[in-house]
Amino acid sequence: MPEMVRITDVSPRDGLQNEPGSIPTNDKARLVELLVDALVDEVELTSFVSPKRVPQLADADDVLENVLPFKRPDVLYSALVPNEKGLGRLLSASERAGMPLVDKIALFTAASEEFNQQNTGASIAESIERFALVVRKARDNGLKVRAYISCVVRCPYQGDIAPEKVAEVVQKLSELEPDEIDLGDTIGAATPETIVAALDAARGANAWAESQDAETWVVHLHDTHGRAGDCVEAALDAGIRSFDGSAGGLGGCPFAAGPGERAPGNIATRTLIEYIHAKGYETRVNTDRLERASLFAQELVEQAQDQHFGGTGLG
Ligand code: HMG
Ligand code: MG
């Protein structure tokens, strides 16, 4: 039996957070419905960050309520949460609905001080200190916890990031004992060598990290230079069995774009799966249905861009 690899589709969050036009909540919910139908293992639905900083996801509460009817027990729902305020919004929405609206929260910090300042207005240490209470409350409410580390290979502001820095952040995060640590190549700069170096540093960071099994480690690639597929192969060889992709290859962190540039898109979930299958591993994703989700995701973004840039396409 081929070994299974876990797929999280982050398009409703990482894919849409950077779009300039307005995307109706119903359309976001339809994208989630299509992803659930395609049987990805997990969908990252939205984020509870400051609506001033990320206006496209200001409807996070409504998205969660709208996607409740499509929920299947075998497809996890997760949402990005930066702080106590974000968790409060999420828990209030769950209270209103009379049931938990997600299975997991995703916290985020970085291996680059400058990126973390730009992204969250806090140092790496401050951001992790803020997480302690959030993790405790999330656990009290039965939620699993993912912790992203951005810029594990390179930062748009600071340049190359040493693997030792990744290890340092894992050491700090390990005090919170997250269920998952997700290594983000935020600007798509990784090569097979550098992503494996970051992974090795993370998994060897301390006794806690060394004791974790494959379920703890996730790889989140952006595909700026067309190397993301090679990085998937290398990560599989290094024992990684959980990856993030984005339907239609949408995506990018708004605070990772250079002046006048758009942020690099995530690896397309279809491409991710093709690389995984080519290496002899299995996923449970239905690729025909994923195609429908991908086409819909691309249409959504094109419509939003046409609306924003007056029909000129990307602008
Ligand atoms: P802060 O410390 O309050 O500071 O928020 P701030 O100055 O940035 O924000 C201030 C305003 O936001 C205040 O409102 C707060 O109350 C409000 P005001 O007084 O001005 O009216 N606020 C909130 N509102 C709603 N929900 C909240 C919330 N928190 C504060 N949860 C924070 C710090 C991190 C929340 C803020 O800076 C922020 O939202 N930043 C955006 C970060 C973001 O969403 N980045 C993109 C996602 S990360 C990513 O894409 C990388 C990843 O894909 C992995 C990879 O590729 O590497 C995950
Ligand atoms: Mg990302």
Segment 133-186, tens digit of pLDDT:
999 999 999 999 999 999 999 999 999 999 999 999 999 999 999 999 999 999
Ligand 1 atom closest to the Cα of residue 184 is 57
Segment 85-103, tens digit of pLDDT:
999 999 999 999 999 999 9
Ligand 1 atom closest to the Cα of residue 87 is 31
Is 151 among the residues known to form the active site? Answer: no
Does residue 49 have its Cβ closer than 6 Å to ligand 1?
yes
DSSP string, 10-75: -IIIIITTT-SS---HHHHHHHHHHHHHTT-SEEEEEE-S-TTT-GGGTTHHHHHHHHGGG--TTS
Average pLDDT, the chain: 94
Segment 269-315, tens digit of pLDDT:
999 999 999 999 999 999 999 999 999 999 998 887 777 666 443 32
**What sign does the dihedral 245-251-257-261 (CA atoms) show?**
positive
Does residue 174 have its Cβ closer than 6 Å to ligand 1?
no
SS3 241: coil
- Ligand 1 pocket check: which of 10, 49, 87 to mutate, most ligand atoms within 8 Å of Cβ? 49
Cβ neighbours of 7 (radius 10 Å): 24
Most distant CA pair in the chain, distance: 55
Confidence at residue 314, expressed as pLDDT on a 0 to 100 scale: 31
Contact in structure between 78 and 46 (CB atoms under 8 Å) = no
**Interval between CA 208 and ligand 2 midpoint (Å):** 25
Which domains are seen in the chain, by residue range? 6-309 (3.20.20.70)
Contact in structure between 271 and 223 (CB atoms under 8 Å) = yes
pTM assigned to the model: 0.95
